[in-house]
Amino acid sequence: MLTTEFPPTAQTVSRLGFGGAAIGLTNYLGQYDAAAATNRDAAMRALQLALDRGVTYFDTAPGYGKGLSEELMGEALAGRTDVVLATKVKLSSAREVRASVEASLRRLRRDSIDLLQIHGGSLDTEAVAAILGRGGMLEQLLRLRVDGLTKAIGFTSEDNNRGVDDLIDSGAFDAMQIAYNLLLQHPYEPTRPFGSLFRAKEKGLFIVTMRTPTSGIFQKWMRLVRPDDTFDYTPALIQFVLSNPLVDVALVGMRTSADVESSAAVWRDETGRIDVPALWGRYV
């Protein structure tokens, strides 16, 4: 499937998502000046090309270049009602949530955010208890949804731990964004089965994955074990994540038109999908 439904708004969105960290963060995945005029122009062209190629899911955050990624997406996506635009609010005290969201809305040039996520790198049980407890961030997120400043709420995490389980089991969230790829398979163990992908899907959450091409780690490994290896593994890494039946959207960091063209080509090549559960079959 090339598309899926984003249930909170009943919109059809592309299963390939434009990850906004790459256009906002300086020296992210290599030397890069995000604020340089030439790079800003390239990022704008990449965003426009992504729209032209049918990408309709875009993910950003205030922390991606102190709002730069949001500004770029706000300009590129201005007036577009056919996309789902997700941003985040950092893990902080509840009283800071609304101010952060209002600042994001100004940068994004929108009256409402499609998906507002708690920006969590690592969410342990103590942090999650504070989020879910009385007076915590969840109360503020729910109020923002009632007030129309966001249409859906979610959380992001690099973990597959008790904290993530508690957020899923709370029943309060519409979406989960989790690190999952060929190397980071902890959210999905199909032979048992267990993992946060299964748990989230059982609870009806919309599932977005980040670090789809392994943030360059797999490629680095290949260069270490085979210095003369020039094979491009990125398409296979993207196909691996898109092949997972529980994944709704796979984010790929893109900052140039070439990035968009190659990623979109992989996304549209459904012949490259594999049967992920069958991949784990043994003793055959």
Sorted by where each starts, the structural domains of the chain and their CATH numbers stand as 11-269 (3.20.20.100)
Q: What is the rounded radius of gyration, in angstroms, for the C-alpha atoms of the chain?
A: 18
Token reading at 262: 């190659």
What's the mean pLDDT in 153-168? 95
Q: For position 277, what pLDDT does the model report?
A: 85
Average pLDDT on 132-147 reads: 95
pLDDT at position 261: 98
Region 205-226: mean pLDDT is: 95
- Name the band, by pLDDT with cuts 50, 70 and 90, for residue 208: very high
The conformational region for residue 56 under phi > 0 = left, psi -120 to 50 = alpha, else beta, is: alpha
Instruction: State residue 140 phi and psi, 5-degree precision.
Output: -70, -40
Q: Hey, how many other C-beta atoms are within 10 angstroms of the C-beta on 87?
A: 30
CA distance 112 to 75: 15
Give the model's pLDDT for residue 240. 97
Backbone angles phi, psi at 273, to 5 degrees: -70, 150
Whether pLDDT at 128 is above 90 = yes
pLDDT of residue 281: 82
Least confident stretch, 118-127, 176-185, 200-209, 268-277:
118-127
Question: Which pLDDT score is estimated for 154?
Answer: 98
pLDDT value of position 282: 73
**Res 284: pLDDT:** 54
Helices (DSSP H) in the chain: which residue ranges? 21-24, 37-52, 68-76, 97-108, 125-132, 137-146, 162-169, 196-202, 217-225, 234-242, 257-268, 276-279
CB atoms within 10 A of CB 220: 10
What pLDDT is stored for residue 283 in this prediction?
Answer: 62
Q: Is the pLDDT of residue 130 over 70?
A: yes
Count Cβ atoms below 10 Å from residue 161 Cβ, excluding itself.
16
Cβ neighbourhood burial of 40 (10 Å; 0-12, 13-18, 19+):
middle
pLDDT of residue 116: 98
| Backbone torsions φ then ψ of 236, nearest 5 degrees | -65, -35
Q: Which two tokens stand for residue 42?
A: 């390239």
Secondary structure (3-state) at 17 = strand
What mean pLDDT comes out for the span 57-75? 97
Return all residues near 215 (Cβ < 8 A) that are at least 6 apart: 29
Decide: helix, strand or coil at residue 257: helix
Average pLDDT, the chain: 95
Rounded Cα–Cα distance for residues 5 and 68 (Å)? 28
Average pLDDT for residues 147-168, to the nearest whole number?
Answer: 96
